[in-house]
Structure 1
């Protein structure tokens, strides 16, 4: 089996109640994942542990269900009057 090399992406992992979240700065994501689209979606799903044949995200940072797994991407606003 041929595996792709792992990427090192700075992140903060938080848990509150039954939910878990992985927080990223937009600038820390790989260049191709800094734009909305399929590449970013695939990266975030993989971080959460999806796809998982058992539906429990056991191979990632996910919280076993889609309602308890979150990813957040933070960046400065591009609008002058917004933080």
Structure 2
């Protein structure tokens, strides 16, 4: 199979670094213009409520564990790294 243009191995190897640097600069420019938001802020935008506020009493809660129905616990705040 023959590749022509930029897909040709010789041409690709020649332009790879230029394309990678341009793409990296583009991504860096996009990321620097965006604001990172926390899980709570994202959830408030989507569901219009604070996930760390009890729906019954209104007091604040702390997130200590993420679980999945099939895979079980995949993040535990107070788990030790040993063992």
TM-score (normalizing by structure 1): 0.19
Q: Which has the higher contact order (CA 8 A, sep 6+)?
A: 1
TM-score (normalizing by structure 2): 0.19
The structure having more radius of gyration, on CA atoms, is 2
Query: Which structure has more helix as a fraction of its residues?
Result: 2
Query: Which structure has more strand as a fraction of its residues?
Result: 1
